[in-house]
Structure 1
């Protein structure tokens, strides 16, 4: 353990002046400080590095939890020392002596900091969340991820505390700078006269000291002048760093060096993993984009809508408020930064708040910062300039509730009500006009389209094309070439080469759209970048960066379909794994892999390719060690990416019907009604034509059935609503039914109903999944029960029929006759 500082008796960190301080904590700064923290507490870097812990949270949660327990205890020790130093308080011996500290519970350590040493409420809340977490040996991945986020926040607080302490220490020491200059001048005057050659080095030293003195004087003037303003008080961390020379307007933007050292010897791995960070960097550097972000920019309809709205704001006679509303990672901040750099004229007299999750104070919630920014648009105020805010739904909802409780921002809250985004029923304020408030809703833009041929996505395809582009503008490709020339080769490099295949990119996008429609997912730009990294870089390389990870399991087809644990998107891909499909083609492939005398020729013929089969060495090696089943799975998945979509799949049929629904193609929709009519009479069973059983209980001696005269209906407002062009922004379902009782037919439900229509009764699982259709069926039954006067009673064993009817004039409750 590092010894206590002799001056203060506090265990303080060495200087971190070499770590620049960003306006908002970024990953590069956090990682640099994390390493200082680990070294200071003599922890092993290869076990506790930031990148490794972050990776383990995703792929080895149990190991991450174990390491976090150790890190959290060391973090508590560090924070205690800086709290005590700040308040000039002594630290109890129980927290200093190693033997005694070993007996102190981690929970007691953090409670002591809060109750005695003045730990902030926000830090204590984050600490309690982690304390609750580390009591367990195993926790779900999503809970662990939330705990790790809390841990990152506490490390960030420690970073600012260290910066603050070291800046104050520097200012304290600077009081002796002027005296040192004078003493050096007197001391060396005689020596310079005696030895003129010393003059140059002495003057350089004097110049550096005078420059430091001048800078410190200027910084102190800035401190005194700024202390009166509320905003500067709240951003004291930034002010201290400006004072200490660690933060300038230039270093705010360029706090991360362009040419960082190549980690683990592979420039390509560094570049491709950087995709996971690139969507975050526009929030940190909100005023400009880097070269790679500019290269990756893709114009979307939402960009054109935003430009039009900004033009209207510039021509307005009074200040306007524009909300860019959406979900996390959907590109709001990126778009603002891009437009500001390419169309600066749209932002004249415009205040931009690029990240509504950001607080101007580390001790106050983001909602208070948002309240201060929106203050000019509060009731009765007169704003002086336009305001543009990028904000997520959750943050806007929190702000709305906070102001509702305070009974403030009445007009703005009425505008939010009119958008109908937090309520399922239309608000009466929807018809009101709000001349000064505007919204561009990113959630309304879907990233895929449907035409008569199937599905496609210009956006996702363009991203993949840019990443795989073989040109000098693509930093990823250049890094890949450099690694190839230097024989730095892993399975990730081969996966990237596979993505260069246009057909593979097309099928990845089609399969992604399949997952989105089937699971009703919203895939943001950030999530798509993460997916690309997951498809190229296997967990083995993330956990052990020096590994080549050469194995068939780490090839892209297997990473795509066989790793559901990595993300919700890949879980969706796993549900579409072609290996799970039982058909004659798959059976033939599997048999051929075990028995064909020349498998390579057979596979080339099956894939209709003349070049080398992708991942050639790996499947051949697997065959050599008798891993035929693994090769079979790989080949079936590879075929799915190299061949076109089968026109007879549930997905192909559903997309054809969905397209016909929005286009108003009645002939095609008739096919859907035919399927549904079969399903209605097979859902519980049917004793005879046009009759359906009321229940599914086969154990009873008698079963009741009801006649149904089904009249086809659908949502006439949506049917045929898209007259021209492809379908770009649509729901994932068809609203359809009988006798004015409709339900929403989505892809998952369609899969079940199509199988039922082919003659198979639904099992309990399918019935549970098809709860919406079950509800629809019960409504149809009730409709005909109320309408029909006759029921059919069926004796199960003899299959005898009895008609039950309610007599019009007899005193008997029912008439029963055999039919």
Structure 2
């Protein structure tokens, strides 16, 4: 036997596999099994029903990014939807597909959309629905051909399709254009208690659930179980490990974290490819594994390097997503308890009990908890160090506790903002005010430092007036899937009524939180947060500097410079 049929089955998850490409012509059993109904599908169906009832020639744009599931959804609706909502539509899975390879994407799009140009839009014709990337749509509208599609351009601008603003997918009976954008839908729900990664969890369940309809599980049970290496195969054990609810929850959690903290764009295709990468080592070879099995030490090195806790964090540059997720390696979390555990582990002459306690109930125990393996792990320093990493990671994966208080606070405030709970936003407004004061510096009377020169510092009084009219309206939902990933706080200059806004993403929230704890910003912070510097500058302009300022000398003496009707008045106060 020279290959692994189970790995061949898992290969369907990879971006490079044929199964990752959807087309109108077929929607096979595998794609049907992997289909997960999402709110974007529900909303699109509502729009299609209204279009079909109206009888009006319509162009439906299914917008988003590469790999997010646009083509899959169109193929599903075309082939398996019982309501046959796309009957009579001209369906384009890829807006840039062309039978004329010498044409550019923009030229192809112009040909496809000709019936919806300004000159032809009121003429009879066929409905069109197309999957189109936001970048392609933007380029087309701005191209020379865009001049012939002023009505399409107006619709795109009015609907905010090309902006980060959340759009309401409301059917417009007066328009010949309708749209649904995948970019408006997150892969998780936002609640007051954090996130609910339902869609990601559904994907993981599709792959790892113990169900005979699951092609991966069926192969795992039949072909994989018959393999001579089955009892010692890391791939088989990885699949069993990921069948555990705790392991899947951990993966879903870090996938959500990277979208929020790192702004990584997460698509269905990327998630499936990542799952493959943490199940099958990039250099997996049945022959190499079989050859290594004749020597316990060689085999253990190969095995430990190929199990999921290693694949998650030890291999960079397989994908951008993998690189981001390495930041969430439990080994990077330094605590006193972790340090004590490490010391105890490395000075111990027998780590058998530590290993059994950590992985005794997992799929890996059949290999790592045998008497022969434990003996090698005890006395081979390289294997012992490799094994320590596994113990720390498995312990975190199987017993995950969210101890990231800043992250939890951000999610809570993000929910309050997007759900329109204005009364709950006071804490973040207070936090920003305190952050500005810490950034600039202050003195005893809570005045904010304007500037400093040799021997003197200038201070002014600033009143922070919260402005809440920009906060989204409350829709009464306790669980949000369509929301903006930033918190836009606004303050009002009480004198000029000017509105000063600040967009807070997780990175800036984290900085402001640290400022609240007394942190002093660095040059790197100033380089990374020019938006905050600009906000602070605007806030300082609303202060009392035009009427009075406080001057503090290096020896602590203070004076006030007041502007009066007769000029400036200087008074020493200390």
**TM bucket normalised to smaller:** 0.7 to 0.9
Give distance in 2, aligned partners of 1:613 and 1:602: 16
The answer to whether 1:388 aligns with 2:143 is: no
Give distance in 1, aligned partners of 2:551 and 2:24: 71
The answer to whether 1:315 aligns with 2:74 is: no
The answer to whether 1:516 aligns with 2:277 is: no
The residue number in structure 2 matching 1:137 is none
The residue number in structure 2 matching 1:505 is 248
CA separation of 1:579/1:771 partners in 2, compared to 1, >3 Å: closer, same or farther?
Answer: farther
Alignment of 1:526-537 (within 5 A): 526-537=269-280
CA separation of 1:709/1:417 partners in 2, compared to 1, >3 Å: closer, same or farther?
Answer: closer
Q: Is the 8 A contact 2:460 2:548 kept in 1?
A: no
- 1:580-629 per-position Cα deviation (integer Å, ceiling 9, x unaligned): 22222322322232235664544666x6x862484662995555422455
- 1:439-497 per-position Cα deviation (integer Å, ceiling 9, x unaligned): 12221111111223321222111110010122222222233332232124543333222
Between Structure 1 and Structure 2, the one with more helix by share is: 1
Q: Is the 8 A contact 1:351 1:386 kept in 2?
A: yes
| TM-score of the pair, normalised by structure 1 | 0.60
- 1:283-312 per-position Cα deviation (integer Å, ceiling 9, x unaligned): 554132111111000001111122222222
Shift of 1:361: 1.6
Residue from 60, 63, 70 that aligns with 1:325: 63
Larger radius of gyration: 1
Shift of 1:517: 0.8
The residue number in structure 2 matching 1:808 is 564
| SS state at 1:560 partner | helix
Unaligned runs of at least 5 residues, structure 1? 1-261
| SS state at 2:381 partner | coil
CA separation of 1:651/1:603 partners in 2, compared to 1, >3 Å: closer, same or farther?
Answer: farther
Residue from 431, 437, 446 that aligns with 2:186: 446
The residue number in structure 1 matching 2:215 is 475
CA separation of 1:704/1:630 partners in 2, compared to 1, >3 Å: closer, same or farther?
Answer: farther
Q: Detail structure 1 runs of 4+ shifted over 6 Å in the superposition.
A: 423-426, 430-433
The residue number in structure 1 matching 2:477 is 724
The residue number in structure 1 matching 2:315 is 563
CA separation of 1:705/1:291 partners in 2, compared to 1, >3 Å: closer, same or farther?
Answer: same
Q: Is the 8 A contact 2:58 2:176 kept in 1?
A: yes
| TM-score of the pair, normalised by structure 2 | 0.84
Residue from 526, 534, 538 that aligns with 1:767: 526
The residue number in structure 1 matching 2:460 is 706
The residue number in structure 1 matching 2:200 is 460
The answer to whether 1:339 aligns with 2:77 is: yes
- 1:545-575 per-position Cα deviation (integer Å, ceiling 9, x unaligned): 7433824344322332343422222222223
CA separation of 1:379/1:527 partners in 2, compared to 1, >3 Å: closer, same or farther?
Answer: same
Shift of 1:635: 2.9
CA separation of 1:362/1:725 partners in 2, compared to 1, >3 Å: closer, same or farther?
Answer: same
RMSD over equivalenced CA pairs, Å: 3.3
The residue number in structure 2 matching 1:594 is 346
CA separation of 1:734/1:810 partners in 2, compared to 1, >3 Å: closer, same or farther?
Answer: same
CA separation of 1:591/1:353 partners in 2, compared to 1, >3 Å: closer, same or farther?
Answer: same
- 1:73-107 per-position Cα deviation (integer Å, ceiling 9, x unaligned): xxxxxxxxxxxxxxxxxxxxxxxxxxxxxxxxxxx
Give distance in 2, aligned partners of 1:675 and 1:703: 25
Tell me how many residue pairs correspond in the alignment. Answer: 542
Unaligned runs of at least 5 residues, structure 2? 290-300, 493-498
Shift of 1:513: 0.7
CA separation of 1:667/1:423 partners in 2, compared to 1, >3 Å: closer, same or farther?
Answer: closer
Alignment of 1:258-269 (within 5 A): 264-269=2-7
CA separation of 1:632/1:810 partners in 2, compared to 1, >3 Å: closer, same or farther?
Answer: farther
| SS state at 1:742 partner | strand
Shift of 1:333: 1.3
- 1:321-362 per-position Cα deviation (integer Å, ceiling 9, x unaligned): 212122111111111111122236323322212221211122
Alignment of 1:299-698 (within 5 A): 299-343=37-81, 345-381=84-120, 382-404=123-145, 407-422=147-162, 434-481=174-221, 482-489=223-230, 490-541=233-284, 546-548=287-289, 550-596=302-348, 599-602=351-354, 611-612=361-362, 614=364, 617=368, 623-627=378-382, 628-663=384-419, 669-695=425-451
Between Structure 1 and Structure 2, the one with more strand by share is: 2
Q: Is the 8 A contact 2:419 2:476 kept in 1?
A: yes
Give distance in 1, aligned partners of 2:368 and 2:24: 46
- 1:386-412 per-position Cα deviation (integer Å, ceiling 9, x unaligned): 22222222322333334546x423433
Give distance in 1, aligned partners of 2:347 and 2:402: 26
CA separation of 1:631/1:783 partners in 2, compared to 1, >3 Å: closer, same or farther?
Answer: farther
The structure showing larger relative contact order (alpha-carbon pairs under 8 Å, at least 6 residues apart) is 2
The residue number in structure 2 matching 1:748 is 507
CA separation of 1:671/1:313 partners in 2, compared to 1, >3 Å: closer, same or farther?
Answer: closer
CA separation of 1:810/1:322 partners in 2, compared to 1, >3 Å: closer, same or farther?
Answer: closer
Q: Is the 8 A contact 1:685 1:693 kept in 2?
A: yes
